[in-house]
Amino acid sequence: MPLGRTDDWWPYCTPGRMEPMDSPAPASIDPPASITGRGARGHWIPGLAFCAVGMAVATVMASALPGLSALLVAIVLGAVVANTMAVPALLAPGVALAAKPVLRAGIVLLGLQVGLQEILGLGAPMVLTVVATVGVGILATLWVGKRLGMPPAQRLLIVCGFSICGAAAVAAVEGATDAEEEDVAVAVGLVVLFGTLMIPSVPLLSGLLGLDGNQAGLWAGAATHEVAQVVAIGGTLGPGALAAAVVVKLARVLMLAPVMAVLAWQVRRAAGAADGPAGTLPPLVPLFVVGFVGMMMLASTGLVPAAVLEGAKTLESMCLATAMFALGLGVRVRSLLKVGARPVVLGAVSTVIVASTALTGVLLAS
């Protein structure tokens, strides 16, 4: 499938995506308001405070549930709230703020956890494995999604979530697509579902395949969707495997930068073909991606005090958990049931593709 075709999987890359919406506020927070905030009016403090409370509850719950992270708990908690109670429209602006700017702030801070020396320390074979896993995962899953007849934007959200860094990638990529909010909810839900299934599967399969601890850790980092899920797997494999898994996963997170750059370039290319006004075009590299790379380079200098890094890690976790709760508020069970089996099939296929490519690379590299 040629990457340059704008009539294939890029039809949503249009200038109109970047224009403000002026529709009135909805009566309650449905997925459109909770994810994008389009149509929401009013102050953002109540909604942001609501998401912050959700983050705090998720953090406390995660501390009492070994093997789970606040990010995963926050997504599930937000989904439970959205499907069991009516969330007032008053909260919509703040929820939208948590789902976008707060999320991007968390991604920027995540850059401080990605040391360039650690990534290069993996060696060329493992770095190539990471690049191949993301590249093959994206291209192959897009092709399968097209064969399944899925909408282009929906399959791109699923692809990036499964191939790069889970729900954070879904939310980051959503801003460059014309995806429906239900598509975002489906992609986030599938990341949680299949990533959670990886937690017991990777250790079990590693034992059956005869992988040693280091190989199992490398495979977990290269194959699993969310950083939190990788940590959960590494914790069951041992300290050495955990360290290897986290470094490889952070290398995959780093791939968000070039993928977002390609997406932005496609948006600009499609907008130019449509003779759209230049003011509607997004930057070639989104600002939060620049911030992520800048923080990574700063961390690589070794000049940042350990206390600052630890504080930044705590703040990053708070931002991401707050954003995950906001995204969870957009997960509506009835909407998920309406989409049918195709997204689930694509999620399963994508998991197999990514895991198989990663395993092949790990075996060749070690």
> Would you say 9 and 154 are in contact if contact means Cβ atoms under 8 Å apart?
no
Reported for 210-215, long-range contacts at CB under 8 A and 24+ positions apart, including other chains, are 211/362, 213/237, 213/238, 213/240, 213/241, 214/240, 214/241, 214/244, 214/366, 215/362, 215/363, 215/366
Q: What is the pLDDT of residues 275-284, one digit of tens each?
A: 444 444 455 5
Rg (CA), the chain: 19
> Would you say 343 and 158 are in contact if contact means Cβ atoms under 8 Å apart?
yes
Q: Which residues contact 251 (CB under 8 A, 6 or more apart)?
A: 114, 119, 122, 126, 127, 130, 221
Indicate the pLDDT class of residue 86, thresholds 50, 70 and 90.
confident
Q: What is the pLDDT of residues 185-216, one digit of tens each?
A: 788 878 878 887 888 889 899 999 999 988 99
What pLDDT, on the 0 to 100 scale, is given for residue 85?
87
Query: How many other CB atoms are there within 10 angstroms of residue 347's CB atom?
Result: 25
What pLDDT, on the 0 to 100 scale, is given for residue 346?
93
Nearest to 251 by CA among 299, 200, 212, 296: 296
What is the reported pTM?
0.64
Is residue 364's pLDDT more than 90?
yes
Is residue 10's pLDDT more than 50?
no
Q: What is the pLDDT of residues 236-267, one digit of tens each?
A: 787 778 778 878 887 888 788 788 778 777 76
Q: How many CA atoms lie within 13 A of 133 on its CB side?
A: 38
What pLDDT, on the 0 to 100 scale, is given for residue 278?
45
Specify which of 20-24, 36-40, 183-187, 342-346 reaches the highest per-range mean pLDDT: 342-346
What pLDDT, on the 0 to 100 scale, is given for residue 131?
93
Indicate the pLDDT class of residue 21, thresholds 50, 70 and 90.
very low
Query: What does the pLDDT average to over 67-93?
Result: 83
Q: What is the pLDDT of residues 28-77, one digit of tens each?
A: 444 433 334 444 444 888 999 999 999 999 999 988 876 667 777 887 89
Q: Which is higher by pLDDT, 325 or 171?
A: 325
Is residue 171's pLDDT more than 50?
yes
Is residue 182's pLDDT more than 80?
no
Across 273-287, b (16+ Cβ under 10 Å) vs e yields eeebeeeebbeeebe
Q: Which is higher by pLDDT, 334 or 349?
A: 349
| 8-state DSSP, 3 | T
Is residue 299's pLDDT more than 70?
yes
Query: How many other CB atoms are there within 10 angstroms of residue 2's CB atom?
Result: 5
Indicate the pLDDT class of residue 220, thresholds 50, 70 and 90.
very high
